[in-house]
Chain A
Amino acid sequence: MSATDSRSAGPHPAVALRVRNLRVGFGDASAADVVRGVSFELRAGECLAIVGDSGSGKSVTARSILGLAGTAARVSADELSLAGESVLGLSEAAWRRRRGRDVGLVLQDALASLDPLRPIIREIGDSLRLHTRLDQSERSRKVLEILAAAGLAQPELYAGRRSGELSGGQRQRALIAAALALDPPLLVADEPTTALDVTVQAQVLDLLEQVRARGTAIVLISHDLAVVSRIADRIAVIHEGRIIETGTTAEVLQNPRHAETRRMLAAVPVDRPRGSRLAPATAVREPVVAHPPARVPEHLAERVPVSVASRTPAAKPVAEPVIALEAIGLSKSFRGPHGTVHRAVDEVSFRLPRGSTLGIVGESGSGKTTTARLALALTAADTGEVRLLGEAWSTLPERDRRARRPLVGAVYQDVLGSFDPRLSVREILHHAVAATAGSSAGGGSAGRRAMAARVSALLDDVGLAESLLERRPTDLSGGQRQRVGIARALASTPQILICDEPVSALDVSVQAQVLDLLDELQRELKLSLLFISHDLGVIQHVSDTVAVMQNGRVVETGTAAEVFTAPTHPYTQALLAAVPRLH
């Protein structure tokens, strides 16, 4: 590998990539540019992280480095050079000769980024086929070497498989291997670890670290400062198409100069105590996120008489049960493809005390989501039961359970899919209120006024402007959608909120706002939260108690403090070790 020695050649290794005043726009010339003058440079063996929120222009920047911004893109720059050679205005044919050989690209979703119909050996072999004169058998041999180098154990076993037949980690390794097949001096990695489990994420970051150590220059694109801080030498923060801050990783993390950078740093939930704000009130563009601290439920009750009645717990005003939700020995199996039986949830028990948050954490396939569905009584458990406020819940027939459903709200990961696509925000909330208020809201103009008041109260609760009422969810941003989802869950004035990965599809900074919102609502409305996530940082931040799941079982429970400071189970320890932190 030729690049290996270039790094050790001297204190100033060769410049691998130089970008000066890159501007990229789409559509009409009148439309605002997405990238508005980005400049940076990168030397061999160096890793530059470009960090920014959705829409900040970071991916477009990454793609422009490979000339892949798309046919509709207008790309201009004062300089764009790879290893000192300008690539501005290269013909498509010339670009093709460089791609894969001079620069490689790794995308986020390996499942979709590798052709699902072709075995990975062919996918990786394509780079060799395109840029070398190796014959078929030589290519196969080389691919196995590359896969091995990418850390894939037993490459000969997996090389013939398609991306869908590999695990997430194997897949991502294969994707990186494909980009590195010709050992290009520059690698562009666009969110390479997003949506991966923490342990896999750590492995992938380790792999990238090795690649960098071999002398490859890496441009790492991410929205998560914690992730990049692990391997980046320097960080460039991009915001609205401009790089607002660049510096070594240490400089940026410790002395952020720009407010946006500070905001992004603050949004990282890891090691942030329960209840502390992740998003500054001023940094949130939504109009009413900042609640007046004095606000209490009674304040709402004054404005909306209807909700007073429904907000008051229906039963047991005096001796309220201490446990909001309790799972006792839950098990659930699914039939697999070849008659195999897969035990998704295995003897799971937990307790959610009233007004507190129970975080369930685990990697994909650990049974978290099935647990959530069991808790919502959407599927029946094979054995065990879920009790709600000390009374039967999962064992009831659905008809009887229906009356108690308003007590439990749910917030979903795929919030867009959980909305009826025909409905506007107003209709979604109307339906939600009507579903529980049912008869009490009644008809007539009084009912309509009460309904309108309730809907605006809900919007107020989640910090959304009324101007969004007529929108459809597809026209909202990810954060706004999740707020609408929360408002819908609150419509029935539930006592318990079950949140299944509510923030995992969101950027860190938006995630911070949603987490803050949930925290506030919990305190204001005395909600009990069952919070499910694969992200230990999030769980650590939101939970009072934590249950760690692996392969359908709860392997460790305890208070957040116990679990995160003194984990007893080796799996928990491994998870914690893998959590990206701000270094």
Chain B
Amino acid sequence: MLWAVATVTFFAVRLIPGDPAEAILGGPGSQTSPEALAAVRAEYGLDQPLLVQYLQQLGRLATGDLGRSYALNMDVGPLVLSQIGGTLVLAVLSLAVAWLIALVLATWSTGRGRLAARIGTGLEIVAAALPHFWLATTLIVVFSVWWGVLPPISTADARGLVLPVVTLAIPLAGFLGQVMRESLNTALESPFVLSARARGESDRGVLWRHALRHAALPAISLSGWAFGSLISGAVVVETIFARPGLGRTLLNAVTVRDVPVVVGVVMVVALAYILMTIVTDLASGLADPRPTEIGNGGLS
């Protein structure tokens, strides 16, 4: 799997027109001397045939060596390590906040009549349609420029996290909320909820003890996907809010064709995605201990 990701990325990036040696020398803007170019080509093995380069890269990857950045004058491993923290914090917090928003919205608007449900659904659809870059700018204008309550860039304290997290969380909350509402309604119409009511359970009790757990299931399994989409969002958000992170690293690397960095970041993101999928599977298993396949169904 990781191998496939590495292969696809390597060739995709190498298809991009332009000379990596130039990227190594500080981008095409600098007036490169031919001697320097030749030296760099030799140093990075760029004078080798593409296949050799590819195999070399695979060999390095196999030993956990992500290679050396063309553009950043450092090894990719330490670079990615230094950047991954910011993105993970952002992604995890955003996921958590999105969950919170979705939960609050779904629970508030369920069982309060059609108008509340309409408002809830409407808010979710609108939230899901909000482009990150637009949302980010609007938030900056309102909270930083007009009201001056929150910083528009990352800061040493947590205040700088608020706007980027909210930017990423709101559209995601829209998606999670739609799924959650759907399954919440299904759960609320199911016989076990009627049974619970017949025991004297209140609306709140029904929601928290029964329905929410069912509603959470599909949203949990959606979280793996959500994580991937958060990384996409991080590309934009980290740039706008000037946060260190993988998204910004990636965007920069792609624009200067820094192949090792692109491959390295993509590998790490793919790995994170795979891990996240495993985590969500585990979480789903925890939330829903029922056997997934036929199991004890009709046959036992």
Contacts and interface: CB of A to CB of B under 8 A. Distances in A.
Given A344-B299, A365-B299, A126 B209 contact: yes
B195 A105 contact: yes
Interface string B83-124: 000000000000000000000000000000100000000000
B289 A117 contact: yes
Interface residues of A, number: 46
Contact of B195 (A93, A113, A130): A113
Contacts of B290: 116-117, 162, 164
A178 B191 contact: no
B192 A66 contact: no
A105 to B, nearest CB: 3
B153 interface: no
A165 interface: yes
Contact of B198 (A68, A71, A116, A369): A68
Nearest to A68: B197
A115 B196 contact: yes
B172 to A, nearest CB: 25
Interface in B196-240: 196-203, 205, 209-210, 213-214
Interface in B268-300: 287-291, 293-296, 298-300
A94 to B, nearest CB: 11
Contacts of B141: none
Interface of A: 63, 66, 68, 71, 92-93, 96-101, 103-105, 107-109, 112-118, 123, 126-127, 130-131, 162, 164-165, 167, 175, 178-179, 181, 334, 336-337, 342, 344, 364-365, 369
A92 B295 CA distance: 40
B149 interface: no
Nearest to A126: B199
B213 A117 contact: yes
A126 B298 CA distance: 28
A583 B299 CA distance: 34
Given A117-B287, A365-B298, A100 B200 contact: yes
A126 B196 contact: yes
A227 B191 CA distance: 22
B190 interface: yes
A164 B288 CA distance: 11
A220 to B, nearest CB: 15
Nearest to A122: B209
A342 B299 contact: yes
A127 B199 contact: yes
Given A127-B199, A167-B300, A178-B195, 19 more contacts: A71-B113, A98-B200, A100-B200, A104-B199, A105-B195, A107-B191, A112-B192, A113-B191, A113-B194, A113-B195, A117-B210, A126-B209, A130-B199, A162-B290, A164-B290, A337-B294, A342-B299, A342-B300, A365-B300
A115 B197 CA distance: 12
B169 to A, nearest CB: 27
A125 to B, nearest CB: 10
Contacts of A334: 299
B216 to A, nearest CB: 10
B201 A130 contact: yes
B242 to A, nearest CB: 44
A430 B289 CA distance: 45
A223 to B, nearest CB: 17
A92 to B, nearest CB: 8
A179 B210 contact: no
B200 A131 contact: yes
Contacts of B210: 115, 117-118
Given A96-B201, A112-B190, A117 B196 contact: no
A99 B199 CA distance: 5
Contact of B200 (A113, A127, A337): A127
B291 A337 contact: yes
A126 B201 contact: yes
Contacts of B287: 117
B44 to A, nearest CB: 52
Contact of B199 (A118, A162, A167, A178): A178
Contacts of A116: 192, 290
A130 B200 contact: yes
B220 to A, nearest CB: 12
A127 B195 CA distance: 11
